[in-house]
Structure formats: structure tokens, C-alpha cells
A and B are shown apart, each in its own frame.
Chain A
Amino acid sequence: MSSNLATESTVAGAIGQSPKRIEDDRFIRGKGNYVDDVQLPGMLFMAIYRSPFAHATINSIDCSRALAMPGVLACITGKDLEAHKLAWMPTLAGDTQAVLATDKVRFQGQEVVAIIAKSQAQAVDAIEGIDVDYDPLPVVVDPKRALEADAPVIRSDLEGKTDNHIFTWESGDADATDRAFRDADIVISLDTLYPRIHPAPMETCGCVSDYNKATGKMTVHLTSQAPHAHRTLFALVAGLPEHKIRIISPDVGGGFGNKVPIYPGYVVATAASLLIGKPVKWIESRSENLISTGFARDYHMSGELAATKDGKMLGLRANVLADHGAFNAQAAPTKWPAGFFNIATGSYDLPAAYCKVEGVYTNKAPGGVAYRCSFRVTEAAYLIERLVDNLAHKTGIDAAELRKLNFIQPEQFPYRSPMGWEYDSGDYDKAMDIALELVEYKALRKEQAEKRERGEVMGIGFSSFTEIVGAGMSKICDIAGLAMIDSAELRIHPTGKGVLKLGVQSQGQGHETTFAQIVASELGIPSTDIVVEHGDTDHTPYGLGTYASRSTPTGGAATAIVARKLREKGRQIAAHMLECAPDDLEFDSGTFSVKGSPDRTKTIQECIFKAYQPELPEGMENGFEDVTYYDAPEMTYPFGTYICVVDVDKGTGEVKVRKFVAVDDCGTRINPMIVDGQIHGGLTQGFGTAMMELISFDEDGNCFGSNFMDYLIPTAVESPHWTLGECTTPSPHHPIGAKGIGESPTVGSPQAFVNAVVDALTPFGITNIDMPLSSHKVWKALRDAGVSDD
């Protein structure tokens, strides 16, 4: 740690305190400002006609009936966009994606025609007036089928493309791993699908694009998790000069990765505003959100774990088929086609590991976004934790003991994993011990044994995950060539109150509260004296945005450092006023005092006021502001142990989560109230993933799960109770020792639910059920095992 000050400050709102959230004052009054709340004079509305087919050739598009309908001003097709070189756009993964389809449609719900009308209703009405003549083509929904030699080639637009293969990516040492498997007493194998799900934030995606002909400036109010990166991409894609683009991402109603990519709707609405010269609003419906914007997961995984008969893990091997849909629109750092899937060795000191991921095209919506996840760490954490629990069942070693036997030990940090990651810090036994105590583990296993005697079905599932967050590290992480840095600009006004401007962007994380707390600790002024601004590219410094739990690791670090720079300026001024050397001053909670003369003091506020007055130290400029761009030296590695207890109804297959203990270690906790809130929400999303959520397709590529009656997310009734515990192992390289928390619970929890259900069903020989664990699926497994009747 380069400073202990942060966690010791007694200033109001400092790190470790839980002040109430600043942003709530507007939200509880209905005064938030979300994109759909933006109403501009003369604003037009856009609706999108989408393909009913998953795969078809477009013979012709006739918009004449739509154009004759009331209020309709324009119908924009891919051909119209071709004239402006905008029919196709690059994806974050370096592929291309149709903005509006010209030659073919490649998934159900694909954008074909954009209608501009005077009202939202008129635009939507006119969808009925679009006539497209299609020739349906054979559909590929199964990624295994997609790789067969005679499979229809989906991306015929790509020159020379003769198959549906996107990439093959390998990591680790295949030979060493083979040797480990040869030496093993036991090999556990698991074929599992981490199914296609959707982040489904409560606010869908949308924009209001507002081109000002007089100034040539394009202002886009956008549901964006990365407004600066989006500005640059708009400049690169649309050829607009970047200084004439302003992205305003106002209040965002949840993102969870869904609002990282650029979607065709944004591009068309922006082009329409440019051509028509009026503001154009486009807001997706929920159905459009679920069928067309960034899905998550869809990883078909085959994992193998090699171990000795005593339970010592020797090697991990993973082969993955990654279904990316019709365009490779995965959101991940450019150099990482399978994200950080190679974090797959998790919390365990595995000597050898190897993974291979193949990406394929299918006739499904594009995506592969990092849903509350650092780029495929979720799938990786699921695979290893499922394998470890199955190894426990196979060896008869208790699942907690088996983990402890294989955990990376505290003295091994910084720890280099066999696939190349350098873990910063950890104490996995400690998190496990706290969790075991909270859940009253011994009593639970006793109860389980007794229940089994009586024929009742109860299970206990573990997940001891290690996360990788904070991308981070420009030497390995960029998006479209942009280093994944982030920034903070701090300006304190003469009276000691000021503004912090961030490159990251909140979608509910509470940055306006927590980032002011970092300033409070580092600079010693109360957190309520700092206003945090973010989301407006004209008024904030450059950054790559908020996803993958990167805000605190990157923007939080930048905030601490910029506050320290100003603290040092304050120290120079204080020394000047107190006529001592700067090194003779101590700083505590906002006050400089002369060592040995505690009555000789200057407050930071006095120093700040002085910064705007004459007679500063020789050579010092007036003002009290600075900016920092932070490039993380390494990722951060939060971790935890989760334990889930379930009761299963043999007759119906219903799973009841009786207890769920979550012990998280995210390093320093800035605002414990907000950290707990993030964990509650992430665990509930993990519960939804494990138990309810699914986007599936029939053989014709029709999408199921296209609305909130079919795509079920947890309500208050079925959401479990959570018991939280914590431990704190600061990150040694982060300025305040924080690691990030947002995604740990979604990454860590799904496998705990599944492990609990599999643990419950182990006596019946059941070793796997793929998510979501619906009652029907669990009942079927029991029936197939001869336990339940038809």
C-alpha cells in the first residue's frame, strides 16, 4: 500500500463510512433524467422493421405503403445507408455487422428498415406498411451443426468465407496438461452449456440524436456505459469530426454490459438526424431489447479435471464452443477473443492447465457481452467450480476440505497462474472459514445425512471463486486500439468545495457518492462538498467506461491519485503559510500540522483558498485542480466463498433455496452499504441465471424468451434471502487497496446453486443438470433416475 490515509480518515463521508447516496435525491422524486425523458423541440421518432426470419435472402424492400401513412417522413433501408458507407459497421470484436440488412437477414429480429415519423405511434404503425420479399434459407441454430462441412454459410458477405468458424483461441500448456492427466488417479469430466441469457436492465437501450446544422455538432443522448469510447467510435464509423460529437449518457437505468456495444439503432437514428436536421429519438421496446441487443454467455463447455485419489488437483483442460450469433459482436478487449476465459484455474494451485475456445456463427442475435462479468470469467468460474464439486462427490472428500486442500495460499501471492495471470492478493481459506461458520456447516451436513435417511432431498453447494477485474493494463487491454485507461479531473473552488469529473459512467453503482468519498479520504474535505460529474463527453476527461467492475480499479485509482496530487499542492501552500518545510508537515483528515508543534496548523480549506490568492510559493500557479489518467499495472482479483443450501421436492422438482451465505473479499470497501447492495443485486441476478433465465430458439431460429412473460427474471417472491460475510485483503497495487465488487456475485453465485442441487441429487447418480434449473428439468432428472413418477 502506498498510503494508509484513505482508510483512516475521520472526515465526514470518508472511505469506510456509509453515507446515504447523493443520487437518490433526484431518483426518489422522479427527477432522474433517462434517455427516454429527453424531449426536444421538433423531435422525430424512429421505429425499426425487423426480420421475421432467422435466415433469408432479401429480394426486394417496398416502403411505399409505409411512406403513405400518416406522419411518416422517411423509410431508411440498407441501400440508403450504403450511399453513406454506413450499411455495415465494425463491431467491438473486429467483425462487421449489418446496420440495416441489404443482402440477407441472418437472425430473427435483425434490423431491416428504419421508419422516421412525427410521433412514436406513427412510426410503429408504419412497420405494418413495410413489404419485404424474402427467400427463406436453411437455418443454423446449433453451433455444432454450424461447424459441419455442409452447414449453410451464414456470413456470405465476408469475402472468401466458406464456413461458420470465427476463431480458435488457445491458452496454457497443452503438453504439460496432457502429462498431468496421464499421471492422474481420477479424471472428472463435465459437458455443460452455460446458456444464452440477457442482462435485461430495466431501462432498454435508446438514443436521441440531435444534429445542429448551424454548428455542425452532433449531440447524442445515449444509453451508454462507455460514452467516450462511443464518441471515438462514432467518429471512426460515421466519419464525423470527433470535436463535433458530444455523447451525453445521462442517468442510465441499469447496464450490466448490455449498454457497452454500439447498436444499429443508434447509428441509424444518428444518420437520420444528420440527414433531416432534426432530433430523432429511438427507444427500443423490451422485446427488441431481448431479441436483438447483446446477449450473454452461450458457451458449450467440456471440462476435465485431473486429480490424485487424495484430491490434489493436477490439471485442468477445457474445450469450448462459443456461439456468437450472426455477427461477432462480443464485447471484450481486442486481444482476447474468448475474453478472460483462461482465468479458469480459479482459486486453485493447479500445476497445469490448457483451454481452447472456438467461436462460431449461428443464425441468432449477435453479442457475447460481458453481462456483469469480466469477459467470460463467469463461464470460467462456473466450469471449475462445477468440476471441483463433482470431484468432491467422486472422491468422497468433503467439498470444503477439497477446496482447502487445493487453494492458492496467502504466501504464494503475487501468484502466477498456469495460464499466465498474476493474482494480486488473496486469503481463500479465511473467506471459506467465515462462510462455513456463517452457514453452520457441520450441523447442515448432519441434517443432510439424517434427511437422506428419511428419503428427503437436501443439498449444499459451494463456490470459491476468484475474479479478474479492472481492465485495465493497457499493455494487454485495448478496445479498438484505445488503451483501457481511465481518468479523473478534480477542481476545488476557492471556498473548498468542488467538482470531480470522471471518465467512467454510473448505471446505478452510486459513483456520485463513492467517488466523492475517495476525495474525502485523500484530500480531507467532506464528501458532500464534492459534486461528481460523469457521462457527458464535453465535460469529462477521457475514459473507457464502466463495465467489468473496472470503475473502482481504474477510475477510483485515478481519483485517489488526482486527490493526492492536490494534497501535495496543499502541503506546499501550508508550508509556505506556516513558514516550514513541506516535509515537516503531517496530514490527517484535512489538516496539516507541523511535526512536534500540533498547534501550528492549516486546514486544507485554508490552503485551497490561498491557492486563489496572491503571494503563493515561488513558481506555483494559482488554482486548485488537476487531472490523472490511470493505467493499471495489473488486474485486481476479488474472491469469495459462497455456500447455498437447497431443499428439493422429489414430487415436483421444485428447488427451494433455504439459505445462501456469501463471503466476499473485494479489498478495501469504500461504502459498505453500497457494497452490500451490489452483492444483493448480483446474487439475485446469479439466482435468475441459475434458476429461471433462458433465451432459446426453435429449429427455425424463432426466439423464445423475447419478452418478460417468457424471459423470467426474479421477482421479490422467489428471490432468496442472503446472508453476507466479509473479509478484506487489500490489493497491493491499487492506491486505496480496492478491487471492485459489482460482478463478483454474478460470477460467483450460479455454480453454488447448481452445485447445491447436484449435491442433493448425487445419491441418485445425477452428476449434472444444465441451467436454468426449472422445476420441470429437475423433476425430469429425478424421473429419469427412477426417483419421481410420471
Chain B
Amino acid sequence: MSSKAQITVTLNGEEHEALIEPRTLLVQLIRETLHETGTHIGCDTSSCGACTVLLDGRPVKSCTILAVQANGRQVKTVEGLETADGLHPVQQGFKEEHGLQCGYCTPGMMMTSVALLEENPDPSEDEIRKAISGNLCRCTGYVNIIKAVQYAAKQQQGVGA
């Protein structure tokens, strides 16, 4: 346990170096070492998806990835969604469509949604339901989360048109 690993991770566009225990989970690196606490932990079995982040653009459950596996890679969290141009369409969608209540699952849910729309800009309702099925929400019944993703899809298509 004494030997530590030196890693370099780019979080939301900013490069960080960290000396960590090899067993450190990516979510622990993000929350405890890099102090970005928007990414949450909701379970201990990789079931809930509250910790979902993008690793080189792909959604991963950051409780199931070692921080050392993110060495030299790009990590994007909820804090990286907003740009100088404003909120990400997915963020807008969640607010406009009341896609959240307690807000705990929201960051992970949004990161999964962002990844879905990257891959499939115009998903059907079934495709959205499948895509977010690894993210648990106890408050909304998913109804308005689906609407939020549809809202974002429309926004993105509008911008692209």
C-alpha cells in the first residue's frame, strides 16, 4: 500500500498531476484529490450510475475505473459541460423539462445523456430509456429525464441546422 502512482489526468480540459495510491478509484480522484464534487457516489456495486463521467468521450462509471487507468486520458464531468457560450443543451433540457428533483443522480444522468446524443443525435424514446438504464433515479420516474434528453436533441439539431 505504500508505493504510490504518479498520474497525469486532464479533467475538464485542465491537466492535473497526482500522486495516488494505486487502488484509488477514478471517482475518488475526481472528488477527493481534484475536489470536483459534482460527480456522486450512490452505490457500491456499479449499479446506480451516479458517478458516470466521460473518459475520452465515452461514459464510464467512475467507481469501476481505477484512477491509474485514466492516466494520460481526458476526463469530463458535469463541471465541464457549461462553456463560455452557456449551458450545454442537456443541462438546459434538465432544467426546462423538470428532469431532476433531489439532483443527486443528475450529473451522472446528464453525462450519459451527453454521450448518447454524441452517438445518436435523434434517439427514440426507447433508445433513451435503454441508454439511461444504467443510471438510477429515485425521484422522477424518468418521465421528465426522457423529455430533457429529447429537448437537448432538438436544441442540438437546431444549432446544427
Contact = CB atoms under 8 A, between A and B. Distances in A.
Interface in B85-99: 87, 91, 94-96, 98
Contacts of A680: 140-144
Nearest to A372: B138
A95 interface: no
B129 interface: yes
Nearest to B80: A30
Contacts of A252: 102
Nearest to A680: B141
A20 interface: yes
A688 to B, nearest CB: 9
Contact of B38 (A32, A256, A682, A715): A32
A509 interface: yes
A683 interface: yes
B91 A29 contact: yes
B36 interface: yes
B43 interface: yes
A177 interface: no
Interface in B2-44: 21, 23, 31-32, 35-44
B75 interface: no
A46 to B, nearest CB: 16
A127 to B, nearest CB: 14
B64 interface: no
List 7 A-B pairs, minimum CB-CB distance, nearest first.
Answer: A30-B38, A508-B102, A253-B104, A27-B103, A684-B141, A30-B78, A708-B47
Do most interface residues of chain A lie in helix, strand or loop, or is the interface mixed?
A: loop
Among A20, A31, A201, A681, which residue has the most Cβ atoms of chain B within 10 A?
A681
A141 B100 CA distance: 38
A722 B141 contact: yes
Given A29-B91, A707-B45, A37 B37 contact: yes
A253 B40 contact: yes
A716 B95 contact: no
Contact of A677 (B23, B41, B98): B98
Contacts of B50: 202
17 contacts: A20-B96, A24-B100, A29-B81, A30-B36, A30-B37, A31-B38, A34-B37, A37-B37, A201-B102, A202-B136, A253-B103, A286-B43, A685-B138, A715-B134, A715-B142, A716-B135, A722-B143
Contacts of A700: none
A785 to B, nearest CB: 33
Interface in A417-458: none
A27 B139 contact: no
Contact of B136 (A27, A681, A715, A722): A715
Contacts of A709: 45, 47
A779 B129 CA distance: 27
B82 interface: yes
Given A30-B79, A707-B45, A717-B133, A202 B98 contact: no
B67 interface: no
A120 B105 CA distance: 22
B102 A203 contact: yes
Nearest to A715: B133
Interface in A272-314: 285-287
B48 interface: yes
A26 B79 CA distance: 10
Given A23-B103, A508-B139, A203 B40 contact: yes
Contacts of B23: 121
Contact of A716 (B47, B48, B142): B142
B55 interface: no
A781 interface: no
Nearest to B37: A37
A715 B47 CA distance: 10
A25 interface: yes
B107 interface: yes
Contacts of B105: 202
A713 B101 contact: no
Interface string A322-366: 000000000000000000000000000000000000000000000
A722 B142 CA distance: 11
Nearest to A713: B136
Among B35, B94, B133, B142, which residue has the most Cβ atoms of chain A within 10 A?
B142
A713 B138 contact: yes
B44 A286 contact: yes
Nearest to B128: A716
Q: How large is the interface on A (under 10, 10 to 19, 20 to 34, 35 or more residues)?
A: 35 or more
Nearest to A204: B42
A353 B21 CA distance: 64
Nearest to A685: B138
Interface string B103-145: 1111100100000000000000000111011111111111111
B159 to A, nearest CB: 18
A482 interface: no
A38 to B, nearest CB: 9
Contacts of B32: 39, 120
B146 interface: yes
B161 interface: no
Among A251, A714, A717, which residue has the most Cβ atoms of chain B within 10 A?
A717
B139 A254 contact: yes
B84 interface: no
A34 B140 CA distance: 19
A700 B42 CA distance: 29
B150 interface: no
Given A27-B106, A36-B41, 15 more contacts: A28-B78, A29-B82, A30-B38, A31-B38, A34-B104, A121-B23, A202-B105, A251-B102, A253-B102, A254-B102, A677-B139, A681-B101, A684-B141, A713-B136, A715-B132
A72 interface: no
A708 B43 contact: yes
A306 B66 CA distance: 62
Interface in A464-486: none
B77 interface: yes
A677 B101 contact: yes
Nearest to B96: A20
Contacts of B143: 677, 680, 721-722
Contacts of B107: 30
Contacts of B146: 716
Interface string A164-206: 0000000000000000000000000000000000001111100
B136 A509 contact: no
A24 B139 contact: no
Contacts of B91: 28-29
A267 B80 CA distance: 37
Interface in A218-267: 251-254, 256
A12 to B, nearest CB: 17
B79 A203 contact: no
A121 B21 contact: yes
A708 B140 contact: no
A52 interface: no
Contacts of B100: 24, 27-28
B106 A28 contact: yes
Among A709, A715, A716, which residue has the most Cβ atoms of chain B within 10 A?
A716
B35 A39 contact: yes
Contact of B95 (A21, A202, A203, A674): A21
Contacts of A509: 101
A680 B98 CA distance: 11
B44 A285 contact: yes
A25 B94 CA distance: 10
B32 to A, nearest CB: 7
A251 B105 CA distance: 13
A202 B137 contact: yes
A719 interface: yes
Contact of A674 (B45, B96, B98, B133): B98
A202 B21 contact: no
A665 to B, nearest CB: 20
A44 B107 CA distance: 27
Contacts of B132: 715-716
A25 B39 CA distance: 16
Nearest to B105: A202
Interface in A11-63: 20-21, 23-34, 36-37, 39
